[in-house]
Structures are given as C-alpha cells and as structure tokens.
Amino acid sequence: MESIKEHWEHVYATKRPDEMSWTQAVPQTSLDLIESFGLPVSAGVIDVGGGDGRLVDGLLDKGYTDITVLDISAQAIERARKRLGDRADRVTWMVSDIVEFKPVRTYDIWHDRATFHFLTHGEQVDAYLGTIRSCATSGVVIATFSTDGPERCSGLDVQRYSESTLEERLSTGFTKMGCLTQDHTTPFGTQQRFLFCAFRATP
C-alpha cells in the first residue's frame, strides 16, 4: 500500500498547481492572521505542510527574514524553491512528516493551512499538538476544512473541525484569538469551506 509520503510525492510529481484544489494565488487570510499578532518581520514563522503554496512568497514580500517551510514531499519543496529562484535561499526548507517532526528551535508563529486536518488518528493529533506546544512561542494560525466542508481531499479522508472542536484541541497551551470561515474557490471553480483560527500561546 502507498505510504502518505509516496502519496504526496506522487501528487506533486504529476499535478500542476491549477490541478490541485487547495491552490491560492494569494493566501491573504493567512497573511492577515499572521500579521494580527503584531510581531516584527524578524519573527520566526514556520509554514507546516506548506507544499508549493504561496504563503512564503507573501511573507518574503512583506520582509519576513526567518521563514521555514516544512512538507512531507520533497517534490513540493523543490517546486517552491524553483519558483522563488534566488529568493529561496532566504528560506529554511525542511522535508519531514509533521507527526515525526522534532523541532530543534522555537518559532514565533506556527502556520498550517490544510495539513492538520489529514491527521485522523488520535495519536497523530496528540503528537502534532505536543510539537506545537513545545515550539510555538507566540501563537498558531490554523486552517482546516469546516464541519460543512469536504470530507476528503486529494483522495484522503480528513477530520473536519468546528470552532469549538478546534478550540478544544488547542485548549492546552493556547487561547483563541478569533476564527472565521471562508469559502475557498478551487482552480476548478468549486467551493470548499475552511475554518481559520488564530490562537495565542498562553505563558
């Protein structure tokens, strides 16, 4: 059976951005929520499951100097690096399964759009939340499919969240700042309802 890593390597080896439902030209909501923390552009930001998404482009445009992009797919990271050209050298790139990721430093902001929701087993969720608690010092911006969003993505089951269930997951170590739902229009013209939430780390 295909592993999760093989699955995602295959996706990024065979699909263009306009063939992937999650593609966004400008990840404005993520950028706005990251900026809502009011941190300087020297803040450390990690984009978990960043794929070849454009959050990193937006953060570089805003002058952020300490950006890390992590993804299980080496193909995804390679695509993002190629797209950015010389600017890619200003970013730290990591290929890792987020469930096994053992950070060796802290990050001010942990960002995740559409990765956490692929963790459908309790022990995976617990490992992920433990990692956040150990390394996210200012807060977390997280986007999952909403309870009325799709049940699957990229052929995989997802765990959908309501504001209260996501808040409950993050309740140890974090306080909710705010949540919003957003209908993402896929490159094929369909809609996917996302839940975005920002959480502040509790001292």
Ligand X SMILES: C[S@@+](CC[C@H](N)C(=O)[O-])C[C@H]1O[C@@H](n2cnc3c(N)ncnc32)[C@H](O)[C@@H]1O
Which region, judged by CB under 6 A, interacts with ligand X, from 35-43, 94-102, 176-184, 195-203? 94-102
Phi and psi of 70, rounded to 5°? -120, 140
Binding to ligand X by residue 68, rule CB under 6 A? Answer: no
CB atoms within 10 A of CB 41: 14
Closest CB to ligand X among residues 174, 194: 194
Residue 114 beta carbon to ligand X: minimum distance, rounded to whole angstroms: 4
Identify the residue whose tokens are 């992590």.
Answer: 70
Residue 202 beta carbon to ligand X: minimum distance, rounded to whole angstroms: 25
Among 113, 160, 169, 184, binds ligand X (CB under 6 A): 113
Binding to ligand X by residue 99, rule CB under 6 A? Answer: yes
Task: Tell me how many degrees the CA angle 84-86-87 measures, rounded to the nearest 5.
Answer: 55
- Per-residue three-class SS string for 59-90: HHHHCCCEEEEEECCHHHHHHHHHHHHHHHHH
Residues lying near ligand X in the complex (CB under 6 A): 4, 8, 22, 49-51, 53, 71-73, 76, 97-99, 113-115, 118, 153
